[in-house]
Structure 1
Amino acid sequence: MRATHPVFLLTLLCVLLSCVSGTNRTEELKPLFSIDRVGGARFHPFKNEIMYVSDQSGVLQIYRVGVDLEDRVVSPPDRLVKTKSRCTSPRYLRDGTILFLHDQGGDENFQIGYINVEGKTNWLTNDLKAKHLVTKVTKNYLYFKANTRDKAKFDVYRIPFPLSENRTVELLYTPSTGQARAALTNRDETKIILAHHYSNVHGEISLLDLKDGTVFSITKSLNGGDGVRWSPLRFLNKKRTRMLVKTDYQSQYLRLAILEYDGKYGPVKFKTIKRMEEFKYDVLSLITNHKTRASFIELNKDGYSELIRVRIGTRGFIGPIKKVVLPLQNGVIARGDARSFGRGMAISKDGKVMAVSMSNSASPVDIYMLELDHRHSFIRLDTEAKRHYYRPHYWQLIVNLIPDVLKRMKFSKEKLYKIKSFDRVQVHYFLLKPEGPAPKGGFPVVVRLHGGPESQTRPSFNAINQFIVKNGFALMLPNIRGSRGYGRKFLDLDNRGKRLNAIKDIKYLIKDLKNRKGVNQKKAFIMGGSYGGYATQLALVTYPNLWIGGISSVGMSSLETFFERTAAWRRNMRYKEYGNYETQRKLLHNISPINKADRIKCPVFFIHGRNDERVPVSESENMYNRIVQESMKRGDDVGKKSVLLVFNDEGHGVTKRANREKSNTMLIQWLTENSK
């Protein structure tokens, strides 16, 4: 028998050691998914208590801590609701009662619960096949929207206080198209200001008169038929005919402005706030303390959060604008929607402390307590800017978020790059690289796309991102055209027939990697969730030679079947973005990846939740099966290397800690095997 060559034995040994090392590294990094996700702090109306959302138990739940704000003493957290599925979006009412949302298995059919002052949990809604979302709370009523009557439409309802399980539910308004929510009311709550949304980029503000049942669109005469975003924020005068709004009317950016109307059918006036126009960034959020009359405005600058402090009067800004120095440099104020928590900032009733949920790429989300009334808070800025810094002292509400085994680990930080795409449009991306010297040829790279499609990748902490980078992969986080945060024109550059231009951006981003030392553009994976999963599949069939693998999580493969099977209320909201299912079937067919699945030359890893109401699980199942079939026809191993992972207890995304650990451990092993 011929002796085995020593070089072969050495190579085999290296491969085995590499596998063992990779396995050990993955096990070492698993505690990343044990980092608690926290946020959405709310101050009790009259007690020294703060409530927030955390997945400390493995699933998002609501917790409460006692807080001595003067001495910075925090009691151990108390979990308020003990359910197997998530509880989110908590808020205190005036009497200390707590409102929250709860769904089952990630199905997003949220029910409204409340915890009374004795600590007992009660339910205001019980239709488990419908979605209920709280939109406004006043002294007299709880306003919410729900699709209980017709699953394709959301009606506007209200429930009077005090709350009880034998509540009276009043149907106020049924929109013929789009969705509406109660945003503001007059004093006797007979007139309701509605925020009416037809899509993520088009809306109106309307006035609902409950006395005669009429609805008057305040902004329709201003829109001129064009898509404009409008959000009513608060009234600015006692007559409640002048309101502060957030809008991109006559602007590239969402900014604060004033909308004035005289009665139901009187003239409507739109006024800009001159000093607001200086900021060429989107306004993300606004929070006000009525005792101090101070407003804090969050701006989006290239994905980073900036915060300014100013007083807002009946006609605009009053006094100096002060830039708030946030606890984290190059950070992001965290927020979400009904699936987590909607507000990233809250101010105590006395106006002395603000809670900010915040992270950056290297620091997990924590709740920072900013002491707003500290006598050393004001420090002069340079004379050129003619403003002041507002530098509050701060401390952290939650400690020991990071498991002990990770505390010595240095998390990777991003670098921001801006490039010109094929048509000279500027596209941004963040790049994270592993520490230490790169292997020969450079680190393999994962291009991770955001969802939305009008969302934006921002440099906040993400355990999956760090898991990927710590396992030896560079990570590109792009904001291709169609992303929010870069102006209205950029937001609309991917609509309908322009979809493939966004995919072409990705090609140019890959080209740019040759300028980034230590990154191997020839070993590129593409990855995304939701719309990002769809865009991932579209990039795989459009530029098959660019990729050695793809990862699609809860992504659409066919826009035709997506529109047929998605939740009924979502269909019309997506027509402006993708195309009309009734009249533009050919377009939808042409930009559906499944119809070009034979072009895919690399394995694909699919992840989906069985209870997904947004993108049905069949979208991943069908694409996976098509890839396997095409691979068998060609006689290659692409189908054998592809993976379909479905969680029966998840919906649109993997939220439970155990499931995230499982899916990402499998994913890293798959990436490692396919990058050799």
Structure 2
Amino acid sequence: MLYTHVSLPHMELLIKRALSVRSATTPRWGPGGVLYYLSDYTGVMQLWRFDGSQHDVVVPWDERVGDFRVASDGAVALASDRDGDEKWRIYIVDGGVYEVSTEGVNNLGAWSPDGKKLAFTSTRDSSTDFYLYIYDRAAGEVKRAAEMPGINVVEEWSEAGIFITHYETNLDSSIYLYRDGELRELTKHGGEALNHSPRYIGNGKVLFLTNADWEYVGVAQMDLATGSWKYLVQLDRDVEHFDVWGAYMLFAVNEEGRSGLYQMHMPSGLTYKLPTPPGVVTHLEYGRGVAAFSLSSINRGHEVYIFQGSVRQVTNSPKFGTPLDKLPEPRSVWYPSFDGRKIHANIYLPPGEPRGAVVYLHGGPESQDRPEFKPLVAALLSAGFTVAAPNYRGSTGFGKTFVHLDDLEKRWDAIRDVEAFAKWLREEGYLQKKPCVLGGSYGGYLTLMALATAPDAWACGVEIVGIFNLVTFLERTAPWRRRYREAEYGSLEKHKDLLLQLSPAAHVEKIQAPLMIIHGANDIRVPVYEAEQLAQRLRELGREVELLVLPDEGHVITKVSNRVKAYSRAVEFIAKHAG
């Protein structure tokens, strides 16, 4: 298909269809082999169940459901926010709907083995700390069990006790065990190490994910009595998910962005790879000899699968006539940056003759562009654009050392990686004209820096929930987030001059290309003030700028109707300037 010959009404329909594609994710087993999962089939992410023959919504719910846990008796605890504000509130659905904790921000945790109590963490008593709480269903009461500083997440409640992961930073965490009123740190370590996702397997043994004394995350086993541990799976790639059933373990490995799903017979160590579709495993659960997982792929969408001898797709979310299967798998490439360092990137090609190109910058920065389903990327491909996505310095998936190559003043190197990528794309023939640069959150910040530091390289920019001024961002972000973001960007007390120097606000006069800004009014991560001051400054400079503020969204566009509205305008903006 030659996109230059497609009529505008037909193009608008292609874009709308791609942005309307629904998703299913996060499968968890319930009693009797019932499979629960999340789906935005209705236009908002809701809780669904599948009993082997029929799919149905568990409970009518107006707002987004972000997480859930199923008790041994079938009661369901769920977390929901309002208008994308990410102030998660916990409820229990058990015949009726009961409030558990609606103050502060709540992280849903785990049921006790008998299903009578629910453990979770919350800022309900501290704006900066997620303390441990336990809800007693019979009494209908919440009691504070332990005061823990910072971000803490209840991972599992087993006969051994309550396992909690405490995050010192986004890249440094430790596992604690709470039992009989006492907290015990299990993974004491020197230096930086991620330790999380504990899974008790009986006989005083727990499995967990860690990159202690190693560049990549693997699966380790600890003896709770002695505290000694060893790696069971240690690779030159990150293990991201795992679960066990009997003598078998399933684990998902990040293989240059795609997921490889493996089954290991733990006593013998024999391991083989499962024949899963290409894509990214986003959740994994193994029980009763049947594995349930969700997998996201640019040309298949985001669906739930089960594995029992063979892989079978369980959900089939509406695609609204979008020919996702016509989208090619992205090319995995490596390009030389300004200093010769090789940087990974994904190149997504449209199914026909390209009409232009977009450089897509992922958020985080402790994240990675992966060949998963992204509605905006699918819409751009459907509209005929090549989408090129670099995994610049600071991205995850390439080891501990790489993720720190953008710390403090080294952030300039990540910015240079983007400029070098645009140059490489031209040299390799991917660009016939200037591309648009687009990114969300940290990718939005990097979009602004790219527009300012290489103004002649870009036809336009689209900045989504991005940072304009690192100082005002740190001052206004949610109180419990500030410490963790300062670990990445620098401290307001120690590095204020550097923060200002690295802010797009200090270089905004250099931005020449037309810019579209999209932001949610309820964003607690990057407050909408960042978008407002950016738009005002560009208007004062006489630049072409469009600002779209979504009143009922936060940091992530959660409602399908808003996704269609905002991203359709973004694609039209790009087509106008770079198509």
1:219 — aligned with what? 187
- Give yes or no for contact 1:553–1:653 (8 Å, CA) kept in 2: no
Aligned letter for 1:398?
A: T
Shift of 1:136: 2.6
Give me the whole-angstrom Cα distance separating, in 2, the residues matched to 1:461 and 1:615.
Answer: 24
Which shows bigger deviation, 135-144 or 646-655? 135-144
Cα 1:489–1:45 shift into 2, 3 Å: same
Q: Deviations over 1:175-214 (max 9, x none)?
A: 24x322344567474xx54322111101223455645x5x
2:280 equivalent to 1:332 = yes
- Match of 1:501, SS state, is helix
Cα 1:216–1:104 shift into 2, 3 Å: same
- Match of 1:571, SS state, is helix
Give me the whole-angstrom Cα distance separating, in 2, the residues matched to 1:524 and 1:142.
Answer: 51
Shift of 1:625: 0.9
2:173 — aligned with what? 203
Give me the whole-angstrom Cα distance separating, in 1, the residues matched to 2:123 and 2:356.
Answer: 46
2:20 equivalent to 1:61 = no
2:339 equivalent to 1:423 = yes
2:303 equivalent to 1:303 = no
Cα 1:64–1:487 shift into 2, 3 Å: same
Cα 1:135–1:411 shift into 2, 3 Å: same
Give me the whole-angstrom Cα distance separating, in 2, the residues matched to 1:43 and 1:589.
Answer: 49
- Give yes or no for contact 1:172–1:210 (8 Å, CA) kept in 2: no
2:15 equivalent to 1:78 = no
Picking from 422, 441, 447, the partner of 1:510 is 422
Give me the whole-angstrom Cα distance separating, in 2, the residues matched to 1:625 and 1:619.
Answer: 10
Larger radius of gyration between Structure 1 and Structure 2: 1
Question: For residues 436-451 of structure 1, what are the structure 2 equivalents within 5 Å?
Answer: 436-438=352-354, 443-451=355-363
Q: Deviations over 1:353-378 (max 9, x none)?
A: 32221132211112223223xxxxxx
- Give yes or no for contact 1:208–1:216 (8 Å, CA) kept in 2: yes
2:476 equivalent to 1:565 = yes
2:231 equivalent to 1:272 = yes
Cα 1:188–1:544 shift into 2, 3 Å: closer
Give me the whole-angstrom Cα distance separating, in 2, the residues matched to 1:594 and 1:470.
Answer: 34
Shift of 1:400: 5.9
Q: Deviations over 1:609-630 (max 9, x none)?
A: 1111111001011111111111
Picking from 171, 180, 187, the partner of 2:152 is 180
Give me the whole-angstrom Cα distance separating, in 2, the residues matched to 1:646 and 1:605.
Answer: 11
Aligned letter for 1:287?
A: D
- Give yes or no for contact 1:611–1:652 (8 Å, CA) kept in 2: yes
- Give yes or no for contact 2:78–2:91 (8 Å, CA) kept in 1: yes
Shift of 1:307: 1.2
- Match of 2:49, SS state, is strand
Q: Deviations over 1:28-63 (max 9, x none)?
A: 4312222211111223212x5322111111111112
Q: Across the two proteins, how many residue pairs are aligned to each other?
A: 575
Aligned letter for 1:280?
A: D
Give me the whole-angstrom Cα distance separating, in 2, the residues matched to 1:43 and 1:185.
Answer: 16
Q: Structure 2 length normalisation: TM-score? A: 0.94
Picking from 532, 536, 549, the partner of 2:443 is 532
- Match of 2:31, SS state, is coil
Give me the whole-angstrom Cα distance separating, in 2, the residues matched to 1:362 and 1:331.
Answer: 9
- Match of 1:671, SS state, is helix
Q: Deviations over 1:324-343 (max 9, x none)?
A: 121x1x32113xxxxxxxxx
Give me the whole-angstrom Cα distance separating, in 2, the residues matched to 1:149 and 1:246.
Answer: 30
Taking CA–CA contacts closer than 8 Å with sequence separation of 6 or more, which of the two structures ends up with the larger relative contact order? 2
Picking from 251, 268, 274, the partner of 1:318 is 268
Q: Deviations over 1:450-479 (max 9, x none)?
A: 111101111012221121122122100111
- Give yes or no for contact 1:81–1:87 (8 Å, CA) kept in 2: no
Picking from 169, 192, 195, the partner of 2:142 is 169
Cα 1:437–1:107 shift into 2, 3 Å: closer
- Match of 1:665, SS state, is helix
Aligned letter for 1:431?
A: I
Give me the whole-angstrom Cα distance separating, in 2, the residues matched to 1:26 and 1:255.
Answer: 45
Question: For residues 636-655 of structure 1, what are the structure 2 equivalents within 5 Å?
Answer: 638-639=543-544, 642-655=545-558
2:368 equivalent to 1:398 = no
- Give yes or no for contact 2:243–2:251 (8 Å, CA) kept in 1: yes
Give me the whole-angstrom Cα distance separating, in 2, the residues matched to 1:652 and 1:232.
Answer: 25
- Give yes or no for contact 2:298–2:324 (8 Å, CA) kept in 1: no
Cα 1:209–1:407 shift into 2, 3 Å: closer
- Match of 2:326, SS state, is coil
Give me the whole-angstrom Cα distance separating, in 2, the residues matched to 1:535 and 1:114.
Answer: 41
Give me the whole-angstrom Cα distance separating, in 2, the residues matched to 1:23 and 1:186.
Answer: 57
- Give yes or no for contact 1:111–1:126 (8 Å, CA) kept in 2: yes
Aligned letter for 1:105?
A: D
2:198 — aligned with what? 233
Question: For residues 582-661 of structure 1, what are the structure 2 equivalents within 5 Å?
Answer: 582-631=493-542, 638-639=543-544, 642-661=545-564
- Match of 1:143, SS state, is strand
Cα 1:187–1:664 shift into 2, 3 Å: closer
Aligned letter for 1:298?
A: A
Aligned letter for 1:547?
A: W
Shift of 1:651: 0.5
- Match of 1:139, SS state, is coil
Give me the whole-angstrom Cα distance separating, in 2, the residues matched to 1:540 and 1:471.
Answer: 23
2:294 equivalent to 1:294 = no
2:368 — aligned with what? 456
RMSD: 2.3
- Match of 1:169, SS state, is strand
Which shows bigger deviation, 504-513 or 295-304? 504-513
Give me the whole-angstrom Cα distance separating, in 2, the residues matched to 1:408 and 1:608.
Answer: 28
Aligned letter for 1:135?
A: G
1:52 — aligned with what? 37
Cα 1:416–1:319 shift into 2, 3 Å: closer
- Match of 2:329, SS state, is coil
Aligned letter for 1:131?
A: V
Q: Structure 1 length normalisation: TM-score? A: 0.81
1:248 — aligned with what? 211
Give me the whole-angstrom Cα distance separating, in 2, the residues matched to 1:79 and 1:397.
Answer: 15
Q: Deviations over 1:512-558 (max 9, x none)?
A: 113434532x4111111111111111211222221111111111111
- Match of 2:574, SS state, is helix
Aligned letter for 1:109?
A: K
Shift of 1:308: 1.2
Picking from 85, 93, 100, the partner of 1:124 is 100
Give me the whole-angstrom Cα distance separating, in 1, the residues matched to 2:523 and 2:507.
Answer: 24
1:38 — aligned with what? 24
Cα 1:408–1:512 shift into 2, 3 Å: closer
2:396 — aligned with what? 484
Structure 2: which 5+ residue stretches go unaligned?
A: none
Give me the whole-angstrom Cα distance separating, in 1, the residues matched to 2:158 and 2:13.
Answer: 58
Give me the whole-angstrom Cα distance separating, in 1, the residues matched to 2:212 and 2:47.
Answer: 38
1:9 — aligned with what? none
- Match of 2:445, SS state, is helix
Give me the whole-angstrom Cα distance separating, in 2, the residues matched to 1:49 and 1:310.
Answer: 25
